[in-house]
Amino acid sequence: MSVPFKTHSLLEHDGISHGFFGRKGGVSKDQYASLNVGKGSQDSSENVAENRKRVAEALGTSEPKLLSLSQIHSTEVLIVDAPFTGAPPKADGLVTKTAGLAISALAADCGPVLFCDPKARIIGACHAGWRGALAGITTETIRAMESLGATRDNIHAVLGPCISQDSYEVGHDYRDTFVAENEAHDRFFRLGPNQKPHFDLKRFILAKLRKDGITHIDALLDCTYAQPEAYFSYRYNTHKVLGDYGRNISAIMLKA
């Protein structure tokens, strides 16, 4: 069975395979229906394994070569050249120049970012929730790519589906955390109908990438919260009292 996914022109280069996958095309049921790839969810391990197998095949590789981390909202980035052995490492970014390895970011409202330097044939993927984005996970992913030979002028970056500002109500203390680091961060907040701040995670991540000197940047506009039929959303499931939630996957691979 084919698995639907989205691509972006900035990442469409000879020798590179990538995809932003939603919740359709898998075997999971109930709140995990259907392409849940989150090993940390309470979905059955058999379903998650089959879903990951389908994603790997869509990218042109095998499931053991589809690498996902135990994400911890950090700035930790790993450079990889082989499949993991044992439990997935704790980190939030992956970089490789090894063909056949699909590196990924899981998300269910946070921002998945895929990177490539098509000239140097180096790719990256990171999970940017608000904590990681504020702390600099995108910056560290770019630096890891540079350590392998990538150059910022040649790096292309695309932000995948994540929660939009309309759906991302936060507390005033949350806004204060951002403004305490930089008063200019106030521009990423606006008051909602009930006078609570709404945070623009998409625009914040894109601004971080621009500040780091990346000029080839874009984003998918899809909102994970507002499109529950298409994407998993932690916040949507929480508000609807649906319990646990599935994870979307965004992945990129160098073809052999």
Q: Encode the chain (256 residues) as per-residue pLDDT tens digits.
A: 589 999 999 999 999 999 999 999 999 999 999 999 999 999 999 999 999 999 999 999 999 999 999 999 999 999 999 999 999 999 999 999 999 999 999 999 999 999 999 999 999 999 999 999 999 999 999 999 999 999 999 999 999 999 999 999 999 999 999 999 999 999 999 999 999 999 999 999 999 999 999 999 999 999 999 999 999 999 999 999 999 999 999 999 999 8
* Domain-located, residue 107: yes
Kindly report the CATH number assigned to the domain that includes residue 86. 3.60.140.10
Query: Which of these, 112, 88, 92, 117, lies nearest to 19 by C-alpha position?
Result: 112
Task: Please compute Rg for the chain using Cα positions.
Answer: 17
**What is the token pair recorded at 77?**
């980035």
User: What per-residue confidence (pLDDT) applies to 144?
Assistant: 98
Cα–Cα distances in Å, from 176 out to 26, 131, 181, 183, 208? Answer: 40, 13, 9, 9, 18
DSSP character for 101? Answer: P
Helix (H) or strand (E) holding 178: helix 172-181
Cβ neighbours, 10 Å, residue 177: 15
What confidence score (pLDDT) does residue 2 get?
Answer: 82
d(CA 25, CA 22) in angstroms, rounded, equals: 9
Candidates 156, 143, 138; CA nearest to 208 is 138
Measure the CA–CA gap between 246 and 256, rounded to whole angstroms. 31
Strand-pairing partners, residue 77, are 93
Spatial distance between the Cα atoms of 69 and 104, rounded to a whole number of angstroms = 8
Please state, in angstroms and rounded to a whole number, the distance separating the CA atoms of residues 26 and 145. Answer: 32
Instruction: Specify which residues 157 forms β-bridges with.
Output: 115, 217
Q: Which of 150, 106, 149 shows the shortest CA–CA distance to 128?
A: 106
| Residue 176 CB contacts under 8 Å (≥ 6 apart), including other chains | none
Range of the domain at 147: 5-162+217-254
Sign for the pseudo-dihedral over CA of 149, 151, 77, 57 = negative
In a domain, 110, yes or no: yes
- Return d(Cα 163, Cα 141) in angstroms, integer: 21
Domain assignment present for 199: no
Beta strand residue intervals within 132-182, DSSP E? 156-159
Residue 151 domain-assigned (yes or no): yes
Instruction: Determine the pLDDT at residue 1.
Output: 59
What is the count of structural domains for the chain?
A: 1
pLDDT of residue 89: 98
